[in-house]
Amino acid sequence: MFADGAESRYNRGMSDNVFDIETLRPLEALIKELGGLDECKRLGFVFEDENGIMSLSVAGMGYLLFVKARDIKDVAEAFAAGYQCRAEEGKA
């Protein structure tokens, strides 16, 4: 606890955006690909925990694995890839 008006020295200079170090590189790639953090959040590709630390969500990882890695650029191709992934998952 701090006295009224006192600040912890750890609070000064901290960024509003704190990312999980283990998913930072994929997150950076996703943010660059989609044009910003806000768009990644809107699509549900970024998960923010109760401490405000952001990491790649399951949907974000799926996008990177099944759309980006296959170099899919067309919406119909993305839909087909998602459909195929689900069909394969159902067989397993």
Task: Give per-10-residue mean pLDDT for the chain (92 aa).
Answer: 43 56 78 87 88 86 82 80 73 68
For residue 52, tell me if it sits in a domain. Answer: yes
Question: Residue 86 and residue 47: Cα distance in Å, rounded?
Answer: 22
For residue 10, tell me if it sits in a domain. Answer: no
For residue 2, tell me if it sits in a domain. Answer: no
Structurally, the chain folds into a number of domains equal to 1
Model's pTM, two decimal places? 0.60
For residue 46, tell me if it sits in a domain. Answer: yes
Q: Hey, which residues does 53 pair with through a beta bridge?
A: 18
Q: What is the pLDDT of residue 15?
A: 53
For residue 13, tell me if it sits in a domain. Answer: no
Question: Residue 55 and residue 21: Cα distance in Å, rounded?
Answer: 8
For residue 4, tell me if it sits in a domain. Answer: no
For residue 69, tell me if it sits in a domain. Answer: yes
Question: Residue 79 and residue 83: Cα distance in Å, rounded?
Answer: 6
For residue 42, tell me if it sits in a domain. Answer: yes
Distance of CA 71 to the CA centre of its chain: 19
Q: How far is CA 67 from CA 16, 83, 87, in A?
A: 29, 12, 16
Q: What is the pLDDT of residue 20?
A: 63
User: In terms of residue numbers, what domain contains 60?
Assistant: 18-91
Q: What is the pLDDT of residue 6?
A: 40
